[in-house]
Amino acid sequence: MMKLKMYIAAGAFAAAGLMTTGMTATVNAAEQIPNPIVTYNTVQDAAKAAGITPLYLPKISGYHVDYISVIDKDTVDLGYVRDGETQTRLRVRTTKTNFTHVSGVNGAKWKQQSIDQMKVAVAELPAVTSTDSKGYAAEWQKDGYHFSVTAENISSAEFQNLLEDGLVDLSEHYLD
């Protein structure tokens, strides 16, 4: 026990000496954790990198893609902005990996609903600031694929419409 205390004390003094001399520890680049998110210029490039065709909104939806990435080499993450209303934003994710929450939303109160016989989990998200409106998230599965959408600055009715007449409906006819 006495030796253990001496080693701890010696380690503490050595660490204190490093702090007072201004020395810093360096991390070898090979030891750093790689960023799991890689951005792409086109949806096609992201699809090729992930090995899947992502669920996406067509131009007629009134939204356009403003962000494209692949997370952990297997999840395509598409960011959308509503045409003419840049504060209304969506994130649509597609993966074949079994995530608990592919949307990235944890701790929300998820409610199950059925949209065209598809089980969809939907959550209302709190506003980030007092000037923001609430957000929404939804997650569902089809034929081994996991889909999600998150939205901010959108009404509940518009989000529900986006699910029913847009993304969930498109996923019913989704082909890889």
- The reported pLDDT for the residue numbered 8 is 38
My answer on whether 25 and 42 are in the same domain is: no
Average pLDDT, the chain: 83
- Percent of the chain scored above 70 by pLDDT? 79
Give the chain's domain count: 2
Phi, psi for 101 (deg, rounded to 5): -140, 95
24 and 73 in one domain?
no
Q: Which residues of 44-58 are buried (b: 16+ CB within 10 A; e: fewer)?
A: eebbeebebbbbbbe
Sorted by sequence, the CB contacts under 8 Å of residue 86 that are 6+ apart come out as none
State whether 14 and 60 are in the same domain: no
Q: Does residue 18 sit in the same domain as residue 51?
A: no
**71-112: pLDDT as tens digits:** 999 999 999 999 998 899 999 999 998 777 889 888 889 999
Half-sphere exposure of 169 toward its Cβ, with a 13 Å CA cutoff? 10
Q: What is the CATH number of the domain that holds 47?
A: 3.40.1000
- Given a contact cutoff of 8 angstroms between Cβ atoms, the answer to whether 49 and 68 are in contact is no
Residues 24 and 65 in one domain: no
Q: Extract the tokens encoding 5.
A: 């205390």
Q: Of 68, 66, 110, 103, which Cα lies nearest the Cα of 87? A: 66
pLDDT in tens, 2-48: 443 333 343 443 444 434 444 455 556 567 888 999 999 999 999 99
The tokens for 77 are: 């993450």
State the residue range of the domain holding 18: 2-31
The residue-averaged pLDDT of 139-156 equals 93
At 20 the pLDDT is 41
Residue of 156 and 28 predicted with greater confidence: 156
Co-location of 56 and 83 in the same domain:
yes
- Two tokens, residue 173: 């006819």
